[in-house]
Amino acid sequence: MSATDSLKQHPGLIPPPEEFIKNAAISGMDAYYALCAEAEQDYCAYWSRLARKHLAWQKPFSVTLDESNAPFYKWFEDGTLNVSFNCLDRNLENGNADRTAIRFESDDGEVTSISYRELHKKVCELANGLKSLGVGKGDRVVIYMPMAIEGVAAMQACARIGATHSVVFGGFSAKSLQERIIDAGAVALITADEQVRAGKTLPLKAIADDALANGGCESIRKVVVYRRTGGAVDMDVTRDIWLHDLMANQSSECEPEWVSAEHPLFILYTSGSTGTPKGVQHSSGGYLLWAALTMKWTFDLKPSDIFWCTADIGWITGHTYITYGPLAVGATQIMFEGVPTYPDAARFWKMIEKHRATIFYTAPTAIRTLIKAANAEPAMHPGQFDLTSLRLLGSVGEPINPEAWMWYYKNVGGARCPIVDTFWQTETGGHMISPLPGATPMVPGSCTLPLPGIMAAVVDETGAELPNGQGGLLVIKRPWPSMLRTVWGNPDRYRAGYFPEELGGTTYLAGDGAIRDKDTGYFTITGRVDDVLNVSGHRMGTMEIESALVAHALVAEAAVVGKRDATTGEAICVFVVLKRSRPAGDEAKQIAKELRDWVGKEIGPIAKPKEIRFGDNLPKTRSGKIMRRILRVLANNEEVTQDISTLENPAILEQLKQAL
Ligand code: PRX
């Protein structure tokens, strides 16, 4: 019996609709296995074929993969290309010039469309503007922007001139922005006067001014400001310039800077288990190849599709599946400035109906929030709207629980749209493990099988592969084109964090636990195995939050753990020891509020703890180590059943059991 047939016979699998299979880019499991076999047989020939077919090269590469300095891998290195040329000019040449590239909907519902021709012009003018400021190949540019066409254009303009961008999510604080500017050594900052979300404005330029005034950001020579609201801002005449002034009178043609495929396209900061956020560095060629290919494979993108990814361009999902992937394949996409619950919790459904979206890609947290809203108020239920345009749904960022999966499948997809539960990370550049919508039979809660060419496995601490049914560490055994290249300015951290010696030094350690199904071999991600939390699909290091807390004058010690949350997946729970006696009653509430606001200011609102508990001390071993696994149990209001014989102060547990 073929692998395909055995999958078909497995009970509990939901097969993709026949219609979908018929027209899909990868049609049926035999086609999937054929690609996997091609990659197995000759790994380099496989990737070389795909890279030649799916990217436009200015000079073709002769070496596909250079492993001589592993784990610092190089892909297609002697080939040259330009990412913005691939995303824009290529579409002008192949008949997409007048196709809508982006249909942008603002927070208050205003729609602006831009064609490929117009976007090309905008990007060229902006690229020429940046050049006129002295920004050039290899320079770093930090982008601190709201969701806007100009945000995408700023990223593309950097790519056009060979500058490396580093986008900082608009919800991060002045301090977080400052740290990232310093680490990247950026020469320019592109920001906006204000950001608008859910009817409220956030003063991005003022926050940026704060960041720059704090010291250490002297590398920044110019600040470019996009006028979003017209709100009042301070402009430093020697440093700051309006985006529209910068673009005025610039030529609408800008010769692309041809760069090596290995040229750093961007740095994106993300949280790890220790220390400050790390600058994940991505390449130009390998990254774009996978961005384009996964649009075709995972999303099965067709010319008639209206694609909508609800992520923010400040995260990797927005990079790959708004700024680069969709444009690289000439898609028409929707881009949304606001939030799913404003003006009400039917916003997504109304937008799908209005724009006739065919592919919808969002996060489990959003789905769970909207399930709650629909249950509370029937008018918010997706069943009230015409969602028949949809043909494919996607999920990303965190595990999707089977109940939410089923609701999404039935109520949003009308039981007719496959769901692609895409597992990947900032570091992987694009999808790693995901169903293919016209091939893979689905199981709610499982991201199913690796994409063809991705050698994923589950191993133990020594790197030995585990049999199906046994949980372990998720690894990728061979390098792949869109993998991160290094941690910016810190190659040791790259090697130690992602390619540990214990696993042989060349196997990529994802940082997630996983288990494969006994019968199907399907992967289920069981969550992070390090000190990284996933709150609403946002990645957060417990260490970062602890550092922010102990920087507060009142705090002596703090320990941060994750607590299960029905909506956000995980929530931040903090155990705090103050420099003074343990507070109670209203005073405790007031200090807790002060600490929450403090973390919001230090890192950003997304890092605000949901729960704070005060103690006279924290549970520690005799050697003084905080026992976090015990705190995790307490945070989840479970009974401590673990061995606590090594605990020096067991009496403290009683005190920490109580939430405020
Ligand atoms: O724990 C995994 C979870 O999100 C982490 C990566 O976070 P980030 O780099 O911010 O990228 C998020 C968007 C790609 C992973 O280590 N994760 C992501 N997708 C899934 C997931 N967990 C389970 N299922 C997924 N589909």
Please give the full DSSP string across 529-568, using - where no structure is assigned: SSSEEEETTEEEEHHHHHHHHHTSTTEEEEEEEEEEETTT
Quick one: average pLDDT of 110-139?
98
570/509 Cα distance (integer angstroms): 22
Q: Does ligand 1 have an atom closer than 6 angstroms to the CB of 398?
A: yes
In SS3 terms, 138-149 reads as CCEEEEECCCCH
Tokens for 53, please give them: 């077919």
How big is the chain, counted in residues? 660
621/542 Cα distance (integer angstroms): 20
Q: 194 — alpha (psi -120 to 50), left (phi > 0) or beta?
A: beta
Q: Does ligand 1 have an atom closer than 6 angstroms to the CB of 473?
A: no
| Residue having the nearest C-alpha atom to atom 25 of ligand 1 | 423
Give the model confidence (pLDDT) of 463-482 as tens digits: 999 999 999 999 999 999 99
* Atom number in ligand 1 closest to CA 510: 16
Bridge-based pairing state of the strands 111-115 and 100-105: antiparallel
Bridge-based pairing state of the strands 472-476 and 523-528: unpaired
Residue 178 — pLDDT band, cuts 50, 70, 90? very high
Please give the full DSSP string across 110-167, using - where no structure is assigned: -EEEEEHHHHHHHHHHHHHHHHHTT--TT-EEEEE--SSHHHHHHHHHHHHHTPEEEE
Buried b (16+ CB within 10 A) or exposed e, 70-83: ebebbbbbebbbbb
| Residue having the nearest C-alpha atom to atom 5 of ligand 1 | 425
| Residue having the nearest C-alpha atom to atom 18 of ligand 1 | 397
Give the pTM: 0.96
| Residue having the nearest C-alpha atom to atom 13 of ligand 1 | 397
**What pLDDT score was predicted for residue 327?**
98
Tokens for 12, please give them: 């509990």
Tokens for 655, please give them: 């005190």
38/247 Cα distance (integer angstroms): 47
- Fill in the amino acid letter for 161: I
Within 10 Å of residue 111's Cβ, how many Cβ atoms? 12
Quick one: average pLDDT of 300-329?
98
**What pLDDT score was predicted for residue 23?**
96
Give the model confidence (pLDDT) of 187-211 as tens digits: 999 999 999 999 999 999 999 999 9
Q: Does ligand 1 have an atom closer than 6 angstroms to the CB of 201?
A: no
Are 451 and 37 in contact, with CB atoms under 8 Å apart? no
Peptide bond into 399 cis (omega under 30): no
Q: Does ligand 1 have an atom closer than 6 angstroms to the CB of 270?
A: yes
Number of H helices, E strands in the chain: 22, 30
State the angle between helix axes of 585-602 and 542-550 in degrees (0 to 180), rounded to the nearest 10: 120
Distance 250 CA to ligand 1 centre (A): 41
402/400 Cα distance (integer angstroms): 6
153/130 Cα distance (integer angstroms): 12
Give the model confidence (pLDDT) of 580-629 as tens digits: 999 999 999 999 999 999 999 999 999 999 999 999 999 998 888 899 98
421/409 Cα distance (integer angstroms): 11
Indicate the average pLDDT of the chain.
Answer: 96
Q: Does ligand 1 have an atom closer than 6 angstroms to the CB of 511?
A: yes
Residue 275 — pLDDT band, cuts 50, 70, 90? confident
**What pLDDT score was predicted for residue 622?**
87
Buried b (16+ CB within 10 A) or exposed e, 424-444: bbbbbbbbbbbbbbbbbbbbb
Tokens for 267, please give them: 């740095």
Quick one: average pLDDT of 528-544?
93
Give the three-class secondary structure for 513.
strand
Quick one: which of 608, 613, 614, 615 has its CA closest to 650?
Answer: 615
* Atom number in ligand 1 closest to CA 423: 26
340/356 Cα distance (integer angstroms): 17
* Atom number in ligand 1 closest to CA 433: 26
Q: What CA–CA distances, in Å, run from 176 to 12, 181, 210, 535, 651?
A: 46, 9, 11, 18, 38
Quick one: average pLDDT of 502-528?
97
Neighbouring-strand partners of residue 514? 472, 525
Q: Which letter does DSSP use for residue 464 in this model? A: P
Q: Which residue has the tokens 């799908």?
A: 352
Residue 320 — pLDDT band, cuts 50, 70, 90? very high
Residue 274 — pLDDT band, cuts 50, 70, 90? confident
Query: How much of the chain exceeds pLDDT 90, in percent?
Result: 93
Q: Does ligand 1 have an atom closer than 6 angstroms to the CB of 421?
A: yes
645/157 Cα distance (integer angstroms): 60
In SS3 terms, 23-53 reads as HCCCCCHHHHHHHHHHHHHCHHHHHHHHHHH
562/203 Cα distance (integer angstroms): 30
Count the alpha carbons within 13 Å of 478 in the hemisphere toward its beta carbon.
Answer: 16
475/508 Cα distance (integer angstroms): 5
Q: Does ligand 1 have an atom closer than 6 angstroms to the CB of 447?
A: yes
**What pLDDT score was predicted for residue 1?**
57
* Atom number in ligand 1 closest to CA 395: 26
Quick one: which of 452, 323, 319, 369 has its CA closest to 26?
Answer: 452
387/311 Cα distance (integer angstroms): 20
